[in-house]
Amino acid sequence: MSSFDLVYPASEEEAIALLARAPAGETAVLAGGTDLLNDLEGQRIAPRQLLSLRRLPWNRWSWTGPALTIGSTAPLADLEYDPKIRADFPGLITAIEAVGSVALRSRATLGGNLGRSGSASDLIPMLLALDAGVEVVGPSGRRRATVDDLVVTSRRPALAPGELIRSILLPESRPSAYLWQRIRPTQDVSHVGVAVAFSPG
């Protein structure tokens, strides 16, 4: 593993500024780090700087009527055990439970999973089925995107230079389900995943 600097911006504005002025490919964003650390150890990437989002207040979630807004750094395990999320978004909970072990889910985040855009993601199909929106922040301000807008290629979301995923919005509670299959039960990665959400009417 190559050496790198670990940076902890204290504000959203500082994080955007640091990322925007970094040369292309030299800074990696650290949310939960479960996938990123594997890439570092396997020397698939060699950034000079890791930009940690740990000190930003993006690890919370809130309700506005039936809509749920989830901060991009909220640990999956915290979402998994929230009784209202379990009741209103059962398919999302099942998809979260498909993500590795409890220890891994205590570090993994929804924003990190979406930001990496891995082809093995259990969460992206469920977010697509639920018509999830994504709040993106960057040098040009805030913008709203869909999950479909962002997931364009494996492991590379469609974010402009300096942009970060701030939160994910689930517009309403809907009956939903997620099914997955692994070749070996001991694997963390699903080989097939199917997400379904039903709309009234």
CATH code: domain of residue 108? 3.30.465.10
pLDDT exceeds cutoff 80 at 114: yes
Give the model's pLDDT for residue 17.
94
Residue (of 10, 49, 47, 54) closest to 31 by Cα position: 54
pLDDT of residue 130 exceeding 70, the answer is: yes
Look up residue 6 and give its two tokens.
Answer: 């670990």
Residue 166's identity, in one-letter code, is R
Q: Is residue 3 part of a domain?
A: no
Residue 121 placed within a domain: yes
Task: List pLDDT tens digits, range 89-108.
Answer: 999 999 999 888 888 899 99
Q: Check if the beta carbon of residue 79 is closer than 8 Å to that of residue 71.
A: no
Residue 157 lies in a domain: yes
- Judged on CB neighbours under 10 Å (0-12, 13-18, 19+), 55 is middle
- Whether residue 49 lies inside any domain: the answer is no
Residue 152: pLDDT band (50, 70, 90) is low
Has residue 138 been placed in a domain? yes
Distances (CA, A) of 190 to 25, 27, 33, 42, 113: 28, 29, 19, 21, 14
Q: What's the domain count of the chain?
A: 1
Give domain status of residue 17, yes or no. no
Reported confidence tier of residue 64, pLDDT bands at 50, 70, 90: very high
Domain that holds residue 170: 57-197
Predicted confidence band at 187 (pLDDT cuts at 50, 70, 90)? low
- Kindly give, in sequence order, each residue whose CB lies less than 8 Å from that of residue 103, ignoring residues fewer than 6 positions away: none
Give the Cα separation of 54 and 31 in Å (integer): 7
Nearest to residue 31, comparing CAs of 108, 117, 102? 108
Q: What angle (nearest 5°) sits at the alpha carbon of residue 2, between those of residues 115 and 190? A: 40
- Contacts for 95 with CB less than 8 Å, ≥ 6 apart: 122, 123, 125, 126, 178, 180, 193, 195
Inside any domain, residue 8: no
Closest CA to 126 of 175, 62, 55, 166: 175
**Has residue 45 been placed in a domain?**
no
